[in-house]
Amino acid sequence: MTKPALVGGVDEAGKGCLLGPLVVAGVSIEASNVRKLKEIGVKDSKMLSAAKREELYPQIREIAEHVHWVGIGPREIDDVVINGKKLRKLNYLEARYFAKVIDQLGASKVTVDASDVIPARFGKDISANLAAKCKVVSRHKADRDFPVVSAASIVAKVTRDREVEALKEIHGDFGSGYPSDPATKAFFTEWMRRGDPLPSCVRKSWKTWLNIEQTLIGVF
C-alpha cells in the first residue's frame, strides 16, 4: 500500500538575536492530519506563551511524521555577515540550512517562511541546495497562515529557548538576547565595561557591540 504523501513546513528562530544559535526547524505530516495541528491550538510561535509552546512541542512530535532541526552557530553567522558576497550573506546561509532540513522531512511539498524580502528568491536558493526533489513554496507570514509552518516555528522557538536557557546557566541572566531588550543591553554594557572579552556564544559581527563601545568611550 502506497503511503500518503507528506507536506512539510520550515521556519527559523533567533535570526536577530545577539547570541546563541539561529535554529532552523522543519515538520512533515500527512495532509489529512493538518487539521489535528489546528485542533491542539498550533499557531505562529510569536502568538503563544513560552509555556504554551512547551506544551505543544511534544504533541507536534506525536502528530508529525518527521521533525528535524539544525542550529547555525555564531561563528558561521559572523563569517558570512563579514565575508559573504552580495546575495550570499545571512539569507543565503539560511536558505542552505532550510534545504538541509527539508532533505530530512521526506515531503513532496514544503512551505517555508521566507527570510528574504523577495520570497521567490529565497525559495529558489533553497531549491538550488536540495539533495532530494521537493516543491518549495516560499511565503511571507507562512508561520501565521500555514499550520505546518506554525508547527515548525514552535519547534524552532522551543529548541532555541532551551539553548538560550543553557547559556544563561553559564553566563548569567542576559534577558532575551535581542538588541531591543534593555536587560540584554545593560548586561553586556556592564560586561564590556569590565573589559572582559565577549563570550564565544556571541555574534560579534552585530553592530550592537560597536554601539556599546562608542557609548563607553563617551563615558570615560
pLDDT at 220: 46
Are 181 and 164 members of one domain?
A: no
Are 178 and 146 members of one domain?
A: no
Are 34 and 130 members of one domain?
A: yes
Residue 1 counted as domain residue: no
Q: Which of 128, 146, 168 is the last residue of a domain?
A: 168
Residue 68 counted as domain residue: yes
| CATH number for position 33 | 3.30.420.10
Are 152 and 176 members of one domain?
A: no
Residue 162 counted as domain residue: yes
Are 17 and 102 members of one domain?
A: yes
Please state the pTM of the whole predicted model. 0.94
pLDDT at 20: 96
The range of the structural domain enclosing residue 23 comes to 6-168
Residue 200 counted as domain residue: yes
pLDDT tens for the 220 residues of the chain, in order: 567 789 999 999 999 999 999 999 999 999 999 999 999 999 999 999 999 999 999 999 999 999 999 999 999 999 999 999 998 999 999 999 999 999 999 999 999 999 999 999 999 999 999 999 999 999 999 999 999 999 999 999 999 999 999 999 999 999 999 999 999 999 999 999 999 999 999 999 999 999 998 888 765 4
Are 107 and 183 members of one domain?
A: no
Are 200 and 105 members of one domain?
A: no
pLDDT at 5: 87
Q: Which of 168, 184, 206 is the last residue of a domain?
A: 168
Are 187 and 210 members of one domain?
A: yes
Residue 30 counted as domain residue: yes
How far is it, in rounded angstroms, from Cα 189 to Cα 203?
A: 15
Are 60 and 118 members of one domain?
A: yes
Number of domains in the chain: 2
pLDDT at 2: 63
Are 147 and 178 members of one domain?
A: no
Are 50 and 77 members of one domain?
A: yes
Are 39 and 139 members of one domain?
A: yes
Residue 215 counted as domain residue: yes
